[in-house]
């Protein structure tokens, strides 16, 4: 039997996955609300944002069943989050802006980058491949969210470090994993580094070089 199929998550990884899924689901709800989609549209966008990156990771690592299929309560929790978020945003007359959506997105980016990298390392992937798996886990859900909402993905167009943040955070986890066998610490530090890096990029308006035409 393929050992990747029977791979299970540690308690720390499970907590990180739950928090990351919730953060990206919230970013999907906020983006869909900003686009004035109906309830079904909001749920679909939240689902893609929350599960898109992890599903791609599971496909590439040949992990079956997918993490949300193995734990269907993820889907029920996501639907409950959508309902609560929609009612709260409407009751408080919260004005959803793109900048407001970026904060839960930054949190989900850090959490999923750390989780995806560690899961790939546990699957005996080389360090570079593991880090790239973490980047894909962290970025792909947001890309799907923006495409469905008829936007060029913010990961590509706002010119602030995004995938770069996940890439750096992934290498932080690899470094800690090589130095000491402390997986929970590695997860926490990696997620914190990625999230803070992205938050500083938003706050300080750091930008990457972009294509210019004269």
**Contact between residue 169 and residue 114 where contact means Cβ atoms under 8 Å apart:** yes
Mean pLDDT of 10-20: 84
Using CA atoms, how far apart are residues 134 and 174, in angstroms rounded to an integer?
11
pTM listed for this prediction? 0.84
Residue 41 is encoded by which pair of tokens? Answer: 């549209």
pLDDT of amino acid 4? 41
What is the per-residue pLDDT across 125-158, written as a single tens digit (0 to 9) for each?
Answer: 999 999 999 999 999 998 999 999 888 888 888 7
Report pLDDT digits (tens) over 93-121. Answer: 566 666 777 888 899 999 999 999 999 99
* Residue in the block written with tokens 């791609």: 56
Please, which residues have CB within 8 angstroms of residue 88's CB and are 6 or more apart in sequence?
94
31 phi-psi bin (left φ>0, alpha ψ -120 to 50, beta other): alpha
Q: Is residue 48 pLDDT above 70, yes or no?
A: yes
Domains of the chain: which residue ranges? 11-204
Q: What is the mean pLDDT of the chain?
A: 86
Is residue 199's pLDDT more than 80? Answer: yes
């Amino acid at each position: 039997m393929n050992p990747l199929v029977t791979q299970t998550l540690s308690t720390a990884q499970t907590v990180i996955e739950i928090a990351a899924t919730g953060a990206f689901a919230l970013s999907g709800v906020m983006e869909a609300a900003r686009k004035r989609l109906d309830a079904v549209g909001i749920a679909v966008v939240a689902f893609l944002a929350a599960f898109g990156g992890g599903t791609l990771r599971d496909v590439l690592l040949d992990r079956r069943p997918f993490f949300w299929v193995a734990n269907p309560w993820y889907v029920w929790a996501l639907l409950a989050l959508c309902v609560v978020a929609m009612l709260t945003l409407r009751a408080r007359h919260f004005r959803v802006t793109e900048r407001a959506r970026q904060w839960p997105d930054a949190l989900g980016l850090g959490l999923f980058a750390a989780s995806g990298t560690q899961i790939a390392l546990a699957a005996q992937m080389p360090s570079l491949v593991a880090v790239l798996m973490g980047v894909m886990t962290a970025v792909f859900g947001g890309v799907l969210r923006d495409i469905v909402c008829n936007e060029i993905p913010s990961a590509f167009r706002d010119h602030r470090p995004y995938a770069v943040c996940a890439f750096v955070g992934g290498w932080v986890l690899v470094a800690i994993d090589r130095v000491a066998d402390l997986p929970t610490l590695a997860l926490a530090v990696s997620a914190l580094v990625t999230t803070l890096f992205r938050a500083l990029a938003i706050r300080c308006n750091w930008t990457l070089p972009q294509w210019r035409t004269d």
